[in-house]
Amino acid sequence: MKYTFPKEFWWGSSASGPQTEGRVEGDGKGENIWDYWFELEPEKFFNQVGPNKTSRVYEKFREDIQLMKQIGHNSFRTSIQWSRLIPEGTGAVNQAAVDFYNQYIDELIANDIEPFLNLYHFDMPLPLQEKGGWTNRETVDAYVAYAKTCFELFGDRVKKWFTHNEPIVPVEGGYLYQFHYPKHVIMEEAVMVGYHENLASAKAIKAYRELGLDGEIGIILNLTPSYPRDENNPDDVKAAEIADVFFNRSFLDPAVKGEFPVELVAVVKELDIAPEVQAGDLEIIKNNTVDLLGINYYQPRRIKAKETPIDPSHGPMPDDYFDYYDLPGKKINPYRGWEIYEKGIYDILTNTRENYGNIRCFISENGMGVEGEERYINQDGQIEDDYRIEFVSDHLKYVHQAIQEGTNCLGYHMWTCMDNWSWTNAYKNRYGFISVDITNEGKRTIKKSGHWFKTVADNHGFTE
C-alpha cells in the first residue's frame, strides 16, 4: 500500500537549545537550572555527562544543516536558550548569542529548511529560579520581555514560533515527581507553575500579534492519551478522564479554547490550592489562543480507578484520583520502559479534529530511544536502525489515516535530528537520525533511518 502525504507536508525533526548547543569559552551564556543542578549533583546524570558536553551545535551548526538537507528536511524545530540570549533572565542581551542565532537561522533558510523556533524548553535561567522560577509571577513578565526580544530580533525571518515545549513537564518534574530541579513535591506550587506558564504563553502570543509580524505562533504539548482499563467500567472511565484533565487538558484547553477545564478548576478549589488570578488574566488567556499546535507523542497512559491507598505524607497529588494500569502483553521499548502504541497518535489527532475545532497541527515529536546502538554498526560504520524505521513508519500510517479522515495535520518532526543530550539520561538512549560520537569531537554519521527518511520526504510518503 502507498501512503501519500500532502506536497507541502513538513518533514523534519526537533531538538532544543539546552540539549544540543553546548558551552564554548566566551559564548557569554548564563547559568540555567540544568547547569546548576549538574554542578550540584553530577552523579544524578548518566555517566556524569552534563549540559556543557551536548552535541556541540554552537560550533557545528553549518555541518549539521548540510546533514539535515541530506536526510530530506524541509523544516527543523529547535529552541532559543533564554539563558544564552539574556544571561541573567532579565536585562542585557548577549550579542554573541544574537550573532549565533542569526547565523543559525540564516543558514537554515539558505538551505531551504524552515526554522521553527520554540522559546522555552525547561531551561529556566538560574537568577530567576532563585526567586522562585515559574512559581513567581514576576517570571511571567520576564518571559514576555524575553519573547518580545526574540520576535524583534528574529521575527523578520522566523515565521513559526512556539511559546513552550511540553509545559506540563516542568510542573510534573519540578514540583510533583522530582525528575527536574528544584525537585519539590508540592501540588500547590505545581498548580501555580502551570497557571503562570499558561498566562506567559497567552501574553507572549499577544505581544507577537501586537508587533504585526506575518508568521504564526503556537505551543507544543506532549499529549499522552489516557485509556481506561475497562471502557465499560464508569470508575475506570472517570479516572482516565481526570488524568487527562491534569496532564493534557490543563494546557490544551487554555491554548486552543482559551479556558481552563471546569473539572480542573473544581479540583484546585476543592483542595484550596487555586493560584492567584489577577484582573484581566482570564481575558488575556481567552483572547490569545494559538494559531498552530505542535503535538509530541511517545506513549499512552493506561489508567484504572484508584485502588491503592492515598499517601498523605506529601499533601495532595494528581494520582490521588487514579492508579496506573499495566496492560498485559503490551508492546514495549525495553530501553526506555515505554509502551509502543501507534494508534495513540491517531487518537490524539482525531481528538483535535472532533473536540478542538480541527486546529492546524503537526506531530512535533515522536521517536524511539535505544541504548547501545553501536551494536548495530555495519562494516561501513553506519548504524542499521531498522527498529527506528519501523517505529516511524508505523506511526506515520496512523498520521496518514487521520489526514485522510480530514484532520488538519501539516507535518511530522521526529525527535531528534542527531543524538542529543537528554537531561539526567544524558546520552544513555539515542534518538537521532544521525549518530553523534561524543568521544570523537562529536563526529556525525547518518544512520540507516536518516537515509530512509530522505526517500520518504522526496516521495511525499512511502510504500509498503
Contact yes or no for 150/118 (Cβ under 8 A): no
Burial track 361-389 (b if 16+ CB lie within 10 A, e otherwise): bbbbbbbbbbbebeebeeeeebbbbeebb
Neighbours of 358 (CB within 10 A): 14
Q: Where does residue 231 rank: exposed (0-12), middle (13-18), buried (19+ CB within 10 A)?
A: exposed
Q: Report the alpha-carbon distance of residue 383 to residue 448 in Å, rounded.
A: 6
DSSP annotation of 249: I
DSSP annotation of 309: P
Phi–psi pair at 137, nearest 5 degrees: -55, -30
Contact yes or no for 239/305 (Cβ under 8 A): yes
> For 80, what's the count of Cα atoms within 13 Å in the CB-facing half-sphere?
35
The one-letter code for the residue type at 236 is D
Contact yes or no for 364/296 (Cβ under 8 A): yes
In the residue annotation, 371 being an active-site residue is answered as no
Q: Report the alpha-carbon distance of residue 360 to residue 345 in Å, rounded.
A: 15
List the catalytic residue out of 21, 166, 189, 365.
Answer: 365
Contact yes or no for 161/151 (Cβ under 8 A): yes
Phi–psi pair at 370, nearest 5 degrees: -130, 135
**Residue with the three cell numbers 490524539:** 348
**Cell numbers linked to 41:** 549533583
Contact yes or no for 294/361 (Cβ under 8 A): yes
**Residue with the three cell numbers 490544551:** 252
Residue whose C-alpha is closest to residue 194's, from 178, 217, 212, 170: 170
Please give the C-alpha separations between residue 463 and each of 4, 102, 110, 393, 401, in angstroms, as whole numbers.
Answer: 8, 39, 31, 10, 14
Radius of gyration (Cα) for the chain, nearest Å?
21
| Residues catalogued as catalytic | 365
